[in-house]
Amino acid sequence: MNGSQTAYKIFRRAYEKQMDGQIEEAIDLYKTSISLFPTPEAHTYLGWAYSMNGHYREAISECMQAIELDPGYGNPYNDIGSYLMSLDEYDEAITWLEKAISAERYEPRHYPYFNLGRVYELKGMWWEAREYYYRALEVNPDFEAAKLAVIKLTSLMN
C-alpha cells in the first residue's frame, strides 16, 4: 500500500471519528493523513474539525492550505465564509462565499448561496437574503433550511 492509500484510509477513520463526536481523535488522524499525503480534502476537513471546537482561525488556516493545493476545490471557500460569519466578519465572508459559488469543483453549491442569504439576513438586508435563499433552492429544491428561511423572511417582511 502506498502513502496516498494509507493517508486515505486514515482520512476515512478521521471522518468517522468526527461524525461520532470524537473531535480530538479526528484532528489527530487528519494530521497524520496530511503528514503522509496532503490533500485539499484532508485540510478542509481538519479545518471543519477545528471549527467544531470553536477554533475558527485554525480552521481558516487549514482551508487556506487546501486552496493552495487545489484552487478549484470549492468547499474550503464556503467553509472560510462560514467561519468568518461565526467571527461576525460578514463583509469578508461575502467575498469567500462568492468564490465558492464560482469554484470549478464544488458539488453542494446550494450551501454558499444559503450562507450568503444568512450573511445578508444578519446584516438586516432581507431582500438580498431572500434572493440568495431562493438561489439555494434553485440549485437544490429540497433544501429544507432554505425553504424555512424563505418562509421566515417572507413573514417578517409582511
pLDDT of residue 13: 98
- Report the distance separating Cα 12 and Cα 30, nearest Å: 9
Does domain 1-90 correspond to CATH entry 1.25.40.10? yes
pTM of the predicted protein model:
0.94
| Higher local confidence (pLDDT), 47 or 156 | 47
Domain residue ranges in the chain: 1-90, 108-158
Over residues 142-147, the mean pLDDT reads 98
pLDDT digits (tens, 9 = 90+) for 5-62: 999 999 999 999 999 999 999 999 999 999 999 999 999 999 999 999 999 999 999 9
Q: Report yes or no: 56 and 86 within 8 Å, Cβ to Cβ.
A: yes
Q: What is the pLDDT of residue 84?
A: 98
Q: What is the pLDDT of residue 58?
A: 98
Mean pLDDT of 113-122: 97
pLDDT digits (tens, 9 = 90+) for 66-94: 999 999 999 999 999 999 999 999 999 99
SS3 45: helix
What is the Cα–Cα distance from 73 to 29, expressed in whole angstroms?
22
Q: Give the pLDDT confidence score for residue 152 in this predicted structure.
A: 94
For position 1, what pLDDT does the model report?
A: 62
